């Protein structure tokens, strides 16, 4: 039974609700505007450099001259991918039974197979064409010696044997 008159209490409540909502929205607008403003403390050179620095950093470790890697270094960077777990029949590092028949073929034959590739399984230079033949020979000596051979690892030219051992230790860190 409506009489056509509006309820004054309802209008007051509606007015208050609208006013509160307007104040709330205005406050959110001001806060969001201020949040986008730069904080002076964040504008120092150190803070800017920290925000724009590269995500990842590469530590190449020891820089080695071309052809100067020791057998251990070549193994750790190339050969381990197959010889660590014996992939495709590769003799594992330190497995005397697997290395025995290969060692019996002689150092020169093992180096030839490693440099040129062998039997469709061993890729030339372990798949890294950037290796020198001397580096491959050093890696062959290192791996075969771990399996019982007594091969002499070819010297790194221009580096005394003590320095070669020091660089070998530094590269494995």
Query: What tens digit of pLDDT does each residue of 76-128 get?
Result: 999 998 999 988 889 999 999 999 999 999 999 999 999 999 988 899 999 88
- Summarised one tens digit per residue, pLDDT across range 49-69 is 777 877 766 666 666 676 788
Position 49 scores a pLDDT of 79
Instruction: Extract long-range pairs of 88-96: CB within 8 Å, 24+ residues apart.
Output: 88/121, 89/121, 90/121, 90/122, 91/143, 91/147, 93/143, 93/146, 93/147, 94/146, 94/147, 95/147, 96/147, 96/148
Which residue ranges make up each domain of the chain?
71-171
Position 21 scores a pLDDT of 96
Report the candidate in 6, 173, 5, 167 with the shortest Cα–Cα distance to residue 71: 167
- Summarised one tens digit per residue, pLDDT across range 130-167 is 899 999 999 999 999 999 999 999 988 755 444 444 44
- Domain 71-171, CATH 3.30.365.10 — does that match? no
């Amino acid at each position: 039974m409506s009489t056509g008159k509006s309820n004054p209490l309802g209008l007051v409540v509606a007015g208050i609700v609208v006013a509160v909502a307007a104040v709330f929205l205005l406050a959110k607008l001001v806060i969001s505007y201020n949040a986008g403003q730069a904080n002076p403390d964040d504008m120092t050179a150190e803070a800017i450099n920290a925000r724009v620095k590269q995500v990842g950093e590469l530590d190449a470790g020891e820089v080695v001259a071309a052809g100067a890697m020791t057998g251990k270094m070549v193994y750790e960077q190339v050969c381990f991918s197959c010889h660590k777990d014996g992939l495709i029949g590769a003799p594992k590092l330190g497995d005397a039974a697997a290395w025995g028949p290969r060692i019996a073929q002689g150092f020169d034959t093992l180096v030839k197979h490693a440099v040129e590739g062998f039997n469709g399984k061993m890729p030339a230079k372990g798949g890294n064409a950037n290796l020198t033949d001397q580096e491959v020979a050093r890696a062959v000596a290192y791996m075969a010696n771990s399996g019982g051979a007594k091969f002499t690892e070819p010297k790194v030219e221009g580096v005394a044997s003590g320095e070669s051992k020091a660089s070998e230790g530094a590269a494995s860190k």
